[in-house]
Structure 1
Amino acid sequence: MALTAPGLTFLRPVPRELVHRSSIAEVFVTDGCRTGDSRFSIAAQWPRDHALYHPDAQSLSDPMLFAETIRQALLYIGHEYCEVPLGTRFVGRDLSFDITDPAALRVNGTPVPVILDAEWTWEEGRPRGARLDVRLLVDGALCGTGTIRVYLMDDRRYGLLRRMAWGGDVPPLPVAGPVPPAPLVPPRRVGRLRWKDCVLERCWPDGDWQLRLDRDHAVLFDHPTDHVPLMVLMEGFRQLGHLCVHERVETHLGERAYALVEAQVECAAFAELNAPIRLVVEQSVPGATPDAPFRLRVAALQGDTLLARTDMAWAAVAPREPAAGPGGWPALASASGLAP
């Protein structure tokens, strides 16, 4: 049965401070309403194109848009409906998503309007936490699920936590300086279009990768921060997953291509800005058949400290069907090879 959320609009983004963004262009949430004591409907609009989160070769919306929308929905609900004051620190514990119908997220000439049917849960403890479980709806149909959990704390508690991570002394933040013009991995190998969007550098002869941190990147570092944001780590995981899957799979896919459809990320420690971060493939399991997902486990480490670990599933997705012409027949190119 179709699921709907009447009354929500996609006319303009919500105030950017409610989703902890500096740039209005990076705000995807457009509206929200309470549907129960702890349930909410959140409207979001995904762009047809994006400087970083652009559609893939199959015209599928980037799954990182789903992850970022889950993150923004948690912040928006917390501030707008759950009396969480602005300025509260949200420290990520874990984030996961499962896209059950990738074809529903294809870009077809207009921005993609989505609805998150969300449930907020308080998690008691010291510090207090919150959890948001969501169902992703497109055109009223369910096509994915996701979860995010965070700790909430004021500046004082956050400062104590960070000093504990630093051993009592606050290290000087690295000064943003020039970044090498290109990493060692070409954009196409990691599913990106621009050199500046690549976050992988090959720095170890044993097969490990290093996360490239460009603090001048307008999307990944939207605002100043004292640590590496979760979405930067997730982008590193996604790019390494794309590289491993598309270069290690041996089965001929024809016109199909792999897309990230599932990810579970667990955070263990703050990722600091002033030390290298390694990305290590801990497990790589190709599907037994062309229709079975390719599964990966990747860890992010700083020295011997585990920062985060993810389990990903990549599935082969069929190409987009050609647009129908008059009478329902597929549209054909002219004899010259150019569309009329």
Structure 2
Amino acid sequence: MSGRAVPDIPAVPRLPHSAAEGPEGIRKEYVHLGRSEMVLLTSWWCKEDGEFSLSARWPAPAAGLAYDQRMLTQTVRQSGLTIAHAAYGAPLSDHTVLNYFDFTVAPGFQVPSDAPCDLTVEVTVKNAKTRGNRVSSLDMDFRVYRDGDMAARAESEFGWLSTRVYRRLRGEHFEVDWNTWPLPDPVEPRIVGRSAPVDVVLSAGDRPRHWQLRNDVENTVLYDHPVDHVPGLALMEAAHQAANAALHPARFEPTTVTSAFERYAEFDRPCWIEADVLPAAPGETSVLVTATQDGETVFRSRLGGPCG
């Protein structure tokens, strides 16, 4: 994870002029969701070759939160998928692979606590690869704006595999018995920065700063529909919660996050989450979160920011 720099946010971030000819609506199929209420995007349009603009609306966050990180990661995910399917023709039947996901949030960013919030997402496709006549990966840069100011910037690479290739890759894990796995008890929500037990993705482990991942399908923000492996955004949420738990009772607001997905995390075996607090510059905190399953690393994330 040392080879990538977290995307910078300009000192004077202003929304660029849009050359859009007109927006198009969002199909929930584009964003791979079954529940329409979790579709955060409202429209998209192509400004020029490789440059896109999308509109998004976030619900008000839970009390006490400046914003909900899950809305940010979902917005980036949905933006990348929409562009891939609508503009680059990625087949809806293909399986998406998330290779990495890095983002920066502007210090002090917050959204209204009592009403939905409208945002704009500007996307640049930095590199597009094809295999035959199909898109195989898109490396993208995302800028999220609120009221003309850049609130966050993200970089991520999405890849696609045909069902034939994906079935061969996944083997016996291609199909799972949905929601049949044991669900351990959640840790106390306030320890991980959440307000309700259903939103907690960690269960107490056997030592400090060590937890078992819990996959509660009632958490519809992360588990919208049956899938064959733990969603990448669920692992990112586990990293966020683990960092907060490791630093509790201090309040941690990560502003830089790098994440790498190394293997699929399966539902039918325990996945362990561990947090290490690392040396950091004065006034900053850095936490490395690692997810392992069967003794092998499946995911790593490094989160940094102020802690008080």
Query: Structure 1 residues 262, 97: closer, same or farther in 2, change over 3 A?
Result: same
Partner of 2:300: 309
Contact preservation (8 Å) 1:245, 1:294: no
Contact preservation (8 Å) 1:245, 1:314: no
Partner of 1:199: 201
Cα distance in 2 for partners of 1:170, 1:83 equals 27
Cα distance in 2 for partners of 1:31, 1:215 equals 28
Distance apart, 1:102 and its partner CA? 3.1
Partner of 2:176: 173
The DSSP-based 3-state class of the residue aligned with 1:77 is helix
The DSSP-based 3-state class of the residue aligned with 1:276 is coil
Counterparts of 1:182-331 in structure 2, within 5 Å, are: 182-183=185-186, 185-205=187-207, 207-247=209-249, 257-281=251-275, 283-285=276-278, 289=282, 292-316=283-307
Larger radius of gyration: 1
Residues 21-79 of structure 1 deviation map (CA, whole Å, 9 limit, x = unaligned): 11111110111111121010111111114xxxx35x2x411122111111000000111
**1:156 partner letter:** R
The DSSP-based 3-state class of the residue aligned with 2:306 is strand
Counterparts of 1:70-219 in structure 2, within 5 Å, are: 70-103=76-109, 105-107=110-112, 109-120=114-125, 121-123=127-129, 128-163=136-171, 169-170=172-173, 173-174=176-177, 176-177=179-180, 182-183=185-186, 185-205=187-207, 207-219=209-221
Residues 99-158 of structure 1 deviation map (CA, whole Å, 9 limit, x = unaligned): 12433x332533221111101221357993211111121111123210111221111111
TM-score by length of 1: 0.78
Distance apart, 1:197 and its partner CA? 1.5
Are 2:36 and 1:30 equivalent residues in the alignment?
no
Contact preservation (8 Å) 1:43, 1:115: yes
Partner of 1:15: 27
**1:93 partner letter:** N
Contact preservation (8 Å) 2:106, 2:152: yes
Cα distance in 2 for partners of 1:87, 1:13 equals 20
Residues 173-203 of structure 1 deviation map (CA, whole Å, 9 limit, x = unaligned): 34524865842x1111111111122111123
The DSSP-based 3-state class of the residue aligned with 1:32 is strand
Contact preservation (8 Å) 1:46, 1:111: yes
Cα distance in 1 for partners of 2:90, 2:167 equals 18
Cα distance in 2 for partners of 1:134, 1:171 equals 31
Distance apart, 1:207 and its partner CA? 4.5
Greater Cα offset, 201-210 or 125-134: 125-134
The DSSP-based 3-state class of the residue aligned with 1:45 is strand
Distance apart, 1:88 and its partner CA? 1.7
The DSSP-based 3-state class of the residue aligned with 1:64 is helix
**2:124 partner letter:** E
Query: Structure 1 residues 212, 99: closer, same or farther in 2, change over 3 A?
Result: same
Alignment coverage as a number of residue pairs: 291
Query: Structure 1 residues 193, 12: closer, same or farther in 2, change over 3 A?
Result: farther
Higher relative contact order (CA 8 A, sep 6+): 2
Query: Structure 1 residues 63, 7: closer, same or farther in 2, change over 3 A?
Result: farther
Cα distance in 2 for partners of 1:141, 1:181 equals 42
Contact preservation (8 Å) 2:212, 2:270: yes
Query: Structure 1 residues 12, 203: closer, same or farther in 2, change over 3 A?
Result: farther
Gaps of 5+ in 2: 1-11
The DSSP-based 3-state class of the residue aligned with 2:254 is strand
Measured on the aligned residues, the alpha-carbon RMSD in Å equals 2.7
Partner of 1:327: none
Query: Structure 1 residues 175, 197: closer, same or farther in 2, change over 3 A?
Result: same
The DSSP-based 3-state class of the residue aligned with 2:48 is coil
Residues 205-253 of structure 1 deviation map (CA, whole Å, 9 limit, x = unaligned): 3652110112343222101101111011111111111111233x5xxxx
The DSSP-based 3-state class of the residue aligned with 1:196 is helix
Partner of 1:40: 52
Distance apart, 1:86 and its partner CA? 1.6
Contact preservation (8 Å) 2:209, 2:245: no
Partner of 2:5: none
Distance apart, 1:287 and its partner CA? 5.0
Distance apart, 1:313 and its partner CA? 1.1
